[in-house]
Structure 1
Amino acid sequence: MTDARRFDLLVFDWDGTLMDSAGAIVASVQAACRDLGLPEPSDEAARYVIGLGLSEALAVLVPQLPLHRRAELVERYRSHFLARYPGIALFEGARETIEALHAQGYRLAVATGKSRRGLSRALETTGLARYFHGSRCADECFSKPHPAMLHELLEEFGVEPGRALMIGDTVHDLQMARNAGVAALAVAYGAHPKPTLMALEPLACVDSLGELRRWLATHA
């Protein structure tokens, strides 16, 4: 690690940042609601909750659902998402980006709204598990935008907030970073539109993984 580097720890969101899964998440949420005879959320509404923990996301989308039926909705969502999972891929350039950053000596971590089981599956099937040094998931931490995921990762790696960067595609990622006192970089190719992300004043907002790599090479 050279003194010229600004950051020691790079924390990535997963869905919509490294994996092109936003469309499958939206379709799975809508299908689960149909299964239970609930109003189907719009694409925009379903995309907004991507990044939250699953229970928190569904509570936002269908607040009228009695608590005792929420587990049923979660089960239906997971069933639909797993059926779509074989067709979900990493964004083009994601693998090369992570491999390059790992080779450059950055410590890499994931902070995600996925469950631990879901993230473990994704890391295994993509072959990226060996590149990440740590991770936090929504079923073992407070959901974004609470800063717990980042606070725990900072403590685990002994990194000061000013030496970490959160990279994500949703306002939940950026708000979590702000709440933790960590810098944030937004990606505009995922779940949330660029103007919405820019309103939270990240260091930058990139439009592709190629642009992300170039930004990191110059600024990180």
Structure 2
Amino acid sequence: MKLLTVSTILLILLLGISGAVSLESEYLISGKTEYGDYYGNLEINSYGEGYEVYWEISSGEIYYGIGLTQQDYLAVAYYDEGYSTIGIVLYKVGEDILNGLWAAPGEPPVIGTEVAYSGEEPEVTPLSISTHPDLSGTYQVEGNNPDGSEYLAEVVLKDYHGLYLVEFYLDDYSIFGFGLCHQDQFLVGWFEQEQMVFGVSLLELEDEENLSGPWILYGNDGLGYEYWTKQ
């Protein structure tokens, strides 16, 4: 979601946890970055167990993404056709309002806020990055795949301009991403171009050493779940 200059259609697959409020609707978009403001339209439709979202903003690139909901948050990871741009978005879900905080990697990374709404543009308090507690470190991971099978892994978090670089190791397999923390929610977008792995996790901070929450990979409509314990 870098700020560009002509119209974008952004297709996002958003997978909601069972029981979540339906987000299917049409929205207007108002967003801000350090480079300026942008506007557009957002249309969310049902897509199997989740949603299909068409997002038109002031740029000319096409993006694709996947996401999930937990509590009253919607987490999205997205990428463009050439994998040259990846990003993450955390929305706090309100009545006819999605109050968003987003980031895309760079040196330094781009961080922006966005509101998607129906009707008049609302006045909302923008979401912000939380830098405390410091989540940097190595975590032991116990997880469950969508089919119920279990796995053990290791995750390393490294500070990245107030965000986090994320390294995930499972046996001989590794995948990388980046994340942001907002209050007690930690959002991670996973990207591995060669093996076409693309997904998102939304973990709740239980305390300064433990996190847990669901994850989903593109092409798999089931949710997995992970427990992280700091070593």
Richer in strand (by share): 2
- Alignment TM-score > 0.5, same fold: no
What TM-score, normalized by structure 2, do the two folds share?
Answer: 0.27
What TM-score, normalized by structure 1, do the two folds share?
Answer: 0.28
Richer in helix (by share): 1
